Amino acid sequence: MFSRFTRLRCYSSSSFKTAIDTAEKLVSPSSTKFNDPFSIVSHEMSNLAKSIANLIGSGHPTLNRVSSYYFEAEGKNVRPLIVLLLSKALSKIPIEQRNRISIDKYDVTEQSHIKGTPTNISSIAGKSVDDSLSPLAILHGINPKVILDPLSKPMDKLPEFDILNGILPKQRRLAEIVEMIHTASLLHDDVIDLSDSRRGRPSGNIAFTNKMAVLAGDFLLGRASVAISRLRNPEVIELLSTTIANLVEGEFMQLKNTVINEVDNEINNDGESKRIPDPTGKVPTKQHEYSVNLVNHDTNVEAAFEYYLHKTYLKTASLMSKSCRAAAVLSGAQDDIIEQSYQFGRNLGLCFQIVDDMLDYTSSDTQFGKPSQADLKLGLATAPILFAWEKEPKLGELIARKFNQPGDVEIARKSVEKYNGLEKTREMATDYCLKALNNLRFLPESDARSALELLTNSILTRTK
């Protein structure tokens, strides 16, 4: 079913690592010629970690340490990079074609410099994005006149709008929020998956404790939610809040793993089988749409792929797609551009995670920055093994029991190799890559669009 995809010829010079490294190292976009497209947002990227640290704002030293831990290490930062590049690409759309919403007067300073920008715009609630909606004494639980270091400090102010850059301050804040949400999910995932390394160093649960890692992730989500609310755009608030719920939904789908796993009232995780209590009837509960009676092998495989892609969307592509949509909404772009921005993020996110699942089979721990070959050990059925199962029905038994019997993991790996599971997975990723590139064609030609195209291509060639 997924065996025929058009292959995309990728430029060897556009490796994922090179693209990301260049974006982080170049720090003076205004004085740099367009030799590398990522230089156009390098200033924002180089200040990302510092800006996020100012948003975290915990006065408790240990909480501040754990919450900031993952931002210290070298990460891919691909999500904020996408938001910033897309925001700059959207700025090339003429202002008169970006009138779906009024651009908040606190987004842009000295608006007279921008031809066609309305001058009679008022902010939602009549306040700046830097101001709290509630009194500080209520938010902090202290008398703000007393000199104390509150556990939730006021957030750092947004930078002024850079006319040469074109990225709105709210879009820069959006990029920071997206990375905070993503990092919170990493802290939680490493506890759930019993990981011992992340970004080439001990994971948060190992460096601190499981409890501290979970609490730090919760705190990051809380601070991200405050920043989301201060964007003062109901549609963007809805989009970003939904991504947090999606991450949890995807994690629950991963607990079950596939549609052919245990019966719906049992879960099996970390080698422990547990029966879920029967509902009392007081609260209506709905059976999951994937809980169906599967009647033959082809139906099983098709349903498993649908389940896998849905889970992949919730865990990875949701944050990318909805943050891209949010960037377009904040730009004032029309509905068709907003939809193409969303589809770009969706297709790119699916491509990104499918490549990640493929790299789990091929990369070493050092190269990958986290334990490789972990998916099978965790009992996860990703695209490579699903493609093998399509050709070898007996693998269904191993998938159903999460490869928990001696020899299961090795049998699965050999089957992936025998039935070209990795090659077919790459073809699937390539298909989503092509779709993402097609979505970008709805944007005006610009350096920023070229950078997004380069980034999209480089995802297929990345090695970590």
Domain-by-domain residue ranges, the chain? 16-277+292-461
For residue 103, the 8-state DSSP code is P
Going residue by residue through the chain (464 aa), what tens digit of pLDDT does each one get?
444 333 344 443 345 666 555 544 433 334 334 445 567 888 888 888 888 988 887 778 899 999 999 998 877 789 999 999 999 999 999 988 998 887 765 555 433 344 444 444 444 434 566 667 776 666 666 665 554 455 566 676 766 676 667 899 899 999 999 999 999 999 999 998 888 999 889 999 999 999 999 999 999 999 999 999 989 899 999 999 999 999 999 998 887 766 655 445 566 555 566 777 888 888 887 765 555 455 688 888 988 999 999 999 999 999 999 999 999 999 999 999 999 999 999 999 999 999 999 998 887 555 545 555 678 888 889 999 999 999 999 999 898 888 889 999 999 999 999 999 999 999 999 999 999 999 999 999 999 999 999 999 999 988 77
Tens-place pLDDT, residues 375-424: 888 888 999 999 999 999 999 989 888 888 999 999 999 999 999 999 99
Return phi, psi of residue 202, to 5°: -55, 140
Kindly report the pTM of this predicted structure: 0.83
User: What pLDDT digit, counting tens, does each position of 94-140 carry?
Assistant: 988 998 887 765 555 433 344 444 444 444 434 566 667 776 666 66
DSSP 196-224: -EETTEE-HHHHS-HHHHHHHHHHHHHHH
Tokens 């699916």 sit at which residue? Answer: 350
What SS3 class is residue 32? coil
Among residues 356, 366, 319, which one has the least CA distance to residue 462? 356
**Which tokens go with 184?**
């919170």
The answer to whether the beta carbons of residues 421 and 388 sit under 8 Å apart is yes
- Alpha carbon distance 367, 373 (integer Å): 12
Query: Element (H or E) spanning 268, and its range?
Result: strand 266-269
Q: Say what the pLDDT of residue 345 is.
A: 98
Residue 274 burial by CB count (10 A; 0-12/13-18/19+): exposed, middle or buried? Answer: exposed
The two three-digit tokens of residue 219, written as one number:
């705190």
**Dihedral sign of CA atoms 111, 115, 119, 123 in order:** negative
Partnered with residue 198 across adjacent β-strands are 201
Which superfamily does 16-277+292-461 belong to? Answer: Farnesyl Diphosphate Synthase (1.10.600.10)
Burial of 255 (0-12, 13-18, 19+ CB in 10 A): middle
